[in-house]
A and B are shown apart, each in its own frame.
Chain A
Amino acid sequence: SAVISQKPSRDICQRGTSLTIQCQVDSQVTMMFWYRQQPGQSLTLIATANQGSEATYESGFVIDKFPISRPNLTFSTLTVSNMSPEDSSIYLCSVSADYNSPLHFGNGTRLTVT
């Protein structure tokens, strides 16, 4: 399966600032996703990162708050903008080699907003 590198692994940020999380895959993949896991909660899909076009956001998530880039088939970034303590969470990059392959996950980014 693909090797997924996610950076940073953790960060502590101040309210009002922004953080960009990077996801690098060692092979080309069709699908890239960003998930959030809030404390004590399940994984929630934020958006699908589309190569060369705007991301597809799930209900409750908007581009202004979570801008996503995907310039090619191996790399994506998620930015958490204008952070508040409610954004404290684990953010996970996930990939699928093709439409018929299950998801594989990065190690996640543990974000704490103070």
Chain B
Amino acid sequence: AQRVTQPEKLLSVFKGAPVELKCNYSYSGSPELFWYVQYSRQRLQLLLRHISRESIKGFTADLNKGETSFHLKKPFAQEEDSAMYYCALASGGYQKVTFGIGTKLQVIP
């Protein structure tokens, strides 16, 4: 069975500080990993996917198969980064996507 673990329900950082949102997964095959974000009163939206290897809004995430992790990082937090962040794993195409419980990021001015 596939599983996604986000160990922190809440992460508070000061503006300008580095951010790391942790995500660990359990899956026997080759997973595809994503980060989704939900800003206040907005829909859940895709932030980035590991196969794109791109930086979105200053965020990056590297898939570490040895540690089965896909942590989301940003060197300098901004107030507008405050949101819920969900790590997700897809297997068998996109027919089976498993989400973590989510981490609420609070950036303190």
Count, A-B residue pairs, CB within 8 A:
43
CA distance A43 to B4 in the complex (A): 11
The answer to whether B100 and A48 touch across the interface, beta carbons within 8 angstroms, is no
Label chain B's interface by main secondary structure.
strand
Provide the residues of chain A in CB contact with B45, threshold 8 Å. 104-105
The answer to whether A45 and B96 touch across the interface, beta carbons within 8 angstroms, is yes
Give the size category of A's interface with B. Answer: 20 to 34
Provide the residues of chain A in CB contact with B101, threshold 8 Å. 40-42
The answer to whether B90 and A102 touch across the interface, beta carbons within 8 angstroms, is yes
Task: Contacts A48-B95, A100-B94, A103-B94 given; indicate if A42 touches B43 (C-beta within 8 A).
Answer: no
Q: Does A112 contact B (CB under 8 A)?
A: no
Q: Does B34 contact A (CB under 8 A)?
A: yes
CA distance A43 to B36 in the complex (A): 12
Provide the residues of chain A in CB contact with B90, threshold 8 Å. 102
Minimum distance in angstroms from B98 CB to a CB of chain A: 8
Q: Which residue of B lies closest to A43 (CB)?
A: B99
Q: Which residue of B lies closest to A99 (CB)?
A: B93
CA distance A99 to B32 in the complex (A): 13
B 75-109 binary contact with A (CB < 8 Å = 1; else 0): 00000000000100010011111011110000000
Minimum distance in angstroms from B63 CB to a CB of chain A: 15
A 41-57 binary contact with B (CB < 8 Å = 1; else 0): 11111001000000000
